[in-house]
Structure 1
Amino acid sequence: MTSMASLPLPGRPDTLVIGGHTDADRVLLTPRGELVRGCARILAEKLARLPAGTARVDVDMSGVHFMDTAGLEFLEVLRDHGRRRSVPVTATRWNDQPRRILELAGLDTTDPLRSSAPEGAPSPTVSAVALEREERLHLLEEEVEQLRRAIVSRPVIDQARGILMATYGCTSDEAWHILREASQLSNTKLRAVAEALTAGAEAEGAPPPEEVRSALSRALARRSSR
């Protein structure tokens, strides 16, 4: 069994690293990290360095924890490699968020390189296929953007939960429900409520706006009465 070196993305911390090994004429690739912009180039460079005589390429995707629309380019590079070299190529073991992106894109979540159309079935018109792909990509992009916003918001929300837990002796789940209820009562985004609370807890920080203070008080009062 021959070891194959990983290929990190130059100029930034290991966004995607592709490791793997060869066994006879079969290659197993093991990407780790994120399928974002630049991932298709990393894969193309990796595939170009495969040993001569490679008769099969399998890709274990279990190490990929995030994927945006660039992941579709990653798959296209794999598909194109299989066609040009006339070798079977698979991409299996998808998890969590990347698997959801495959669902939105209308791809097989077991192996998106496998055709989902039954053998011998008539192909839909090009315009219908293009329209469906456009709609699916729009949904995919919206969901990825929502996830990105959630990732950015999480630190300040966690800080606000910590303040509530320390101040009122509530649990982490209770603090989350208080923040969410205050957001609903004040018609304010959850992130804005969390930012106002954490800013007000600083030594010279301004207190939260009146509507947020009132909503937090009501949410806390409801918790105490339960």
Structure 2
Amino acid sequence: MASTASLALPGRQETLVIGGRMDADRALLAPRGELVRGSARALAEKLARLPVGTARIDLDMSGVHFMDTAGLEFLEVLRDHGRRWSVPVTATRWNGQPRRILELAGLDTTDPLSSPALDGTPSPVVSAVAREREERLHLLQEEIEQLRQAIASRPVIDQARGILMATHGCTSDEAWHILREASQLSNTKLRDVARSLTACAEAEGAAPPEEVRTALSRALARRSTR
């Protein structure tokens, strides 16, 4: 049986699925998808349905390809369950972006549940690095937000590059540099420059703002002189 949680991200709907099986009195769980808001609830529901007498719980995290700071809540749920029922719990085989999150959070990437911050054991190291960990988490949240914005902006930027390539006979790389230069010259976010360009290409579309038009013209002119 698998537990699922509906996890909303900009531009798409994702689902975390927690599959698993019993090996004697050992529960082997395999989450797949993304650890974001709602994933901790899905894990709690899965753990609540484990058979009475489960003596060990091991999670294989290799199927998780994205995680934000809500993934730390996911780990707390697993840790608290282990403490409540006095059973060993592990979460191993992290890779890719989730592994990077654990590194930034200062946790053991082999098994974060063994880290001082999550094993419930008082440690002088925890208090010494608490502020540094908080700063890391803040940077981590910013990095995740930038990644989400980049994912949401990619389609319109690619469309704007296509318009420049078709209109001015430039390559994909040249179109990218033109958009980036126009963004810098007009002090406008790159995705907003791209939206303005794609909007004016539509039927009855409005022309880009004057500062964007001027910046695009200058960027195109510089390209022709190179």
- State TM-score, norm by structure 2: 0.82
Secondary structure, in 3 states, of the residue corresponding to 1:65? strand
Picking from 2, 6, 9, the partner of 2:2 is 6
Tell me how far 1:71 sits from its aligned partner.
Answer: 1.0
1:1-226 alignment to 2 at 5 Å? 5-9=1-5, 15-115=15-115, 123-124=123-124, 128-226=128-226
Tell me how far 1:165 sits from its aligned partner.
Answer: 2.7
Gaps of at least 5 residues in structure 2 are none
Contact 1:8 1:14 in 2 (8 A): no
Two-structure CA RMSD over aligned residues (Å): 2.7
Contact 1:6 1:19 in 2 (8 A): yes
Tell me how far 1:187 sits from its aligned partner.
Answer: 1.7
When residues 138 and 48 of structure 1 are mapped into structure 2, their CA distance, relative to the original with a 3 A threshold, is same
Percent identical among aligned pairs is 83
Aligned residues: 218
Runs (4+) off by over 4 Å:
10-14, 125-130
Q: Deviation string for 1:195-223 (max 9, x for gaps)?
A: 11111111111221232223223333343
134-143 or 38-47, larger mean C-alpha shift: 134-143
Distance in 2 separating the partners of 1:164 and 1:61? 43
Distance in 1 separating the partners of 2:174 and 2:124? 51
Gaps of at least 5 residues in structure 1 are none
- State TM-score, norm by structure 1: 0.82
When residues 171 and 6 of structure 1 are mapped into structure 2, their CA distance, relative to the original with a 3 A threshold, is farther
Distance in 2 separating the partners of 1:112 and 1:11? 23
When residues 208 and 14 of structure 1 are mapped into structure 2, their CA distance, relative to the original with a 3 A threshold, is closer
When residues 11 and 89 of structure 1 are mapped into structure 2, their CA distance, relative to the original with a 3 A threshold, is closer
Q: Which residue type is aligned with residue 184 of structure 1?
A: Q
Contact 1:180 1:190 in 2 (8 A): yes
